[in-house]
Structure 1
Amino acid sequence: MEQLLFALLTIVLGVVGAIAYFYGSNLLLDRIFPANVPDHARASQNLRRAALIRPWLFLTPALLSLGIYLVYPVFSSLAYSLFDRSGTHFVGLANYRWMFFDSEFRESIFNNMLWLIVVPAASTLFGLIIAALTDRIWWGNIAKSLIFMPMAISFVGASVIWKFVYDYRDAASEQIGLLNAIVVALGGEPQIWIAMPFWNNFFLMVILVWIQTGFAMVLLSAALRGIPEETIEAAVIDGANPWQIFMKIKVPQIWGTIAVVWTTITILVLKVFDIVLAMTNGQWDTQVLANLMFDWMFRGGGDFGRGAAIAIVIMVLVVPIMIWNIRNARREMEGR
């Protein structure tokens, strides 16, 4: 109850503070540049000056927040990556040289590549298929709601759910894990799914695909509905079957949206952390870059230099995809 009251108080103070800031700053601006002065030329000049300054009153809090919580940490991490574990002695590029000869870092890179290949492709494909199918049935909106529901669950919450799916008990015990219960019912032996090297990565990926399919479905469904009916009708008149209409008419027209969905999920995959931490904590060859960064930064005494170097690598991998994604989305919006 105490935490709930504290959270409520924080929200109230934040809202009141925001209202007070915007109201007070605009009131002060109007006092500095009054529009109701006898001199019309001065009044006009004050209005122009106030109009130039007023947008910055609204932008300043957001810019300060971005500077403090985004820009500053980037430069701080870059600086830390050039120092030793204590952050006091300059070591240059030694932390980056260490990474490329470290077996755990190579394992993390390999696993991240697996995630990059499987998760965006699977989520986008399933989202596209579901979006196309649910638009053709009367209960499609109900189906979409159910498929989108996992998006409301945190990654840790989803991991807890799937832990029960993958749960293992010895053969003499009753299986409470859904997957092992099915295997045993079919006459098989229960397996420790999340401890199976290489394949356990795919079992973890299923969780993120389960969550992100709803996101892909919503965007792709909106894109499919935006396709002009005339093009589909013309294809039907020309004798195209449903598969040809879908692959040669619909998909090419929403290719920009598919690319945006794909790259957005790719950025998320590069930063995946919660699922691996909650399911395996990086054990059994499931380590990924974000989890490795967490281990070096906050565990084993804390090595700020190596942890920061891994963070910079993640940022370098994410930023180009993010820039391309933003440009592609902007081009698509301008094209419309």
Structure 2
Amino acid sequence: MPVILQGLLTILIGVGGCIGYFFLSNMVLDKVIFPARGENAGRNINRANAVRPWLFLFPALFLLSLYLVYPVIGSFLRSLYGRNPDEFVGLGNYISLFGSDDFQQAFFNNILWAIFVPAASTFMGLLVAQLTDKLSWGNFAKSMIFMPMAISFVGASLIWKFVYANDADIGLINAVRAAMGFGDPVDVVQIPFWNNFFLMVILIWIQTGFAMVILSAALRGIPEETIEAAILDGANPWQLFFKIKVPQIMPTIIVVWTTITITVLKVFDIVYTMTGGNFGTEILPSYMMDFMFRDDGRATAIALVIMIVVFPVMYSNIRQARKEMR
């Protein structure tokens, strides 16, 4: 069957199925379960109206349960078993993980990423949004800064591999070092501890454009009256920015910060492409991949740890977004 016909058939079945479901479910509710007749007609109508919203929510709740809740429960149960699916170890995988030096290193690196990347990306995005807002060529500058968002993490990592290359003829950093007479080239991704920050630069380069676009819109949404009043009161540019503008867009800054934090806690591509988790750059997602094909139980336990770490940040993001909508 041609692809176009398959798509049309899928749409017809999907739309028709939804219409049929809502029609039949409401008919059963009104005619069979709570019929609007007899001495209980009024009570049945109220009961049917109370149940009716759940009929509309049921398909979404069912799909969410199928694709979100069920995998989480299944993953937790799998994490209670060892490499052999029949070997029940209870919390043994978690105890083993938290006692592992490699896991502690990966967890520490994730904390570094979660602190440094959102802070740097948000700050640079805010700075660029403010500096380019009044320039005649500001939109062009914003387009250039936003462009890395269109590049995949793997593609960005390959670009930065050339920047960090251990060769003065290819690597930008070593070319500058050679021009300044610092001697032999240095492979920056193998420098302990500091190599983590060199990898973080890649994600900051990508996420700064995202932060810039959101914060630029927030800055333009500030009422002009407050800015004019501050200028009339004698506020200098620094006071105008930090005491007038930033407080008014603080909810947006928090949303951007937490959104980037969620991305950071799930990042895997950059570390895997640049170092494969070697040289002390392991993070939780890449550490999970080390066990994926060797010990499924421990890999699932790591995945649940990542989910637990991400959940408070995600919940905070949702709450802050709801506050902005009020």
Fold shared by both chains (TM-score > 0.5): yes
Q: Would you say 1:319 and 2:316 are equivalent positions?
A: no
The CA distance in 2 between the partners of 1:72 and 1:322, in whole Å, is 20
Give the structure 1 partner of residue 76 of structure 2.
78
User: How much does 1:246 deviate?
Assistant: 0.1
User: How much does 1:322 deviate?
Assistant: 1.1
Q: Would you say 1:264 and 2:292 are equivalent positions?
A: no
The CA distance in 2 between the partners of 1:153 and 1:53, in whole Å, is 47
Equivalent residue letter for 1:167: A
Asked if the contact 1:183/1:190 (under 8 Å) is kept, the reply is yes
Equivalent residue letter for 2:243: K
The CA distance in 1 between the partners of 2:7 and 2:284, in whole Å, is 34
The runs of 5 or more residues in structure 2 that have no matched partner are 31-36, 38-44
Distance change >3 Å, CA 51–CA 207, structure 1 → 2:
farther
Of 243, 246, 255, the residue aligned with 1:248 is 243
Of 170, 178, 187, the residue aligned with 1:176 is 170
Q: Secondary structure at the match of 1:87?
A: coil
Asked if the contact 1:167/1:192 (under 8 Å) is kept, the reply is yes
Give the structure 2 partner of residue 138 of structure 1.
136
Give the structure 1 partner of residue 112 of structure 2.
114
Asked if the contact 1:119/1:208 (under 8 Å) is kept, the reply is yes
The CA distance in 2 between the partners of 1:327 and 1:107, in whole Å, is 31
Give the structure 2 partner of residue 185 of structure 1.
179
Give the structure 1 partner of residue 66 of structure 2.
68
Q: Secondary structure at the match of 2:263?
A: helix
Asked if the contact 2:118/2:260 (under 8 Å) is kept, the reply is yes
Give the structure 2 partner of residue 307 of structure 1.
299
The CA distance in 2 between the partners of 1:118 and 1:11, in whole Å, is 45
Say what the alpha-carbon RMSD is for the aligned residues. Answer: 3.1
Distance change >3 Å, CA 59–CA 162, structure 1 → 2:
farther
Distance change >3 Å, CA 50–CA 254, structure 1 → 2:
same
Distance change >3 Å, CA 185–CA 17, structure 1 → 2:
farther
Q: Would you say 1:237 and 2:232 are equivalent positions?
A: yes
Give the structure 2 partner of residue 328 of structure 1.
320
Give the structure 1 partner of residue 208 of structure 2.
213
User: How much does 1:238 deviate?
Assistant: 0.7
Of 273, 284, 287, the residue aligned with 1:289 is 284
TM-score w.r.t. length of structure 1: 0.83
Alignment of 1:83-94 (within 5 A): 83-94=81-92
% identical equivalent positions: 59
Q: Secondary structure at the match of 1:114?
A: helix
TM-score w.r.t. length of structure 2: 0.86
User: How much does 1:269 deviate?
Assistant: 1.2
The CA distance in 1 between the partners of 2:6 and 2:100, in whole Å, is 44
Distance change >3 Å, CA 9–CA 195, structure 1 → 2:
farther
Paired residues, what number? 318
Asked if the contact 1:167/1:180 (under 8 Å) is kept, the reply is yes
User: How much does 1:49 deviate?
Assistant: 10
Give the structure 2 partner of residue 37 of structure 1.
none
Equivalent residue letter for 1:84: G
Give the structure 1 partner of residue 122 of structure 2.
124
The CA distance in 2 between the partners of 1:150 and 1:57, in whole Å, is 44
User: How much does 1:135 deviate?
Assistant: 1.1
Deviations 1:194-251 (A, max 9, x none): 1221111111101110111111111111111111110100000011111110000001
User: How much does 1:180 deviate?
Assistant: 2.4
Asked if the contact 1:26/1:54 (under 8 Å) is kept, the reply is no
Of 178, 182, 194, the residue aligned with 1:199 is 194
Asked if the contact 2:25/2:55 (under 8 Å) is kept, the reply is no
Moved over 6 A (4+): 6-13, 29-34, 47-58
Deviations 1:97-117 (A, max 9, x none): 111210100110111111112
Equivalent residue letter for 1:179: I
Distance change >3 Å, CA 312–CA 176, structure 1 → 2:
same
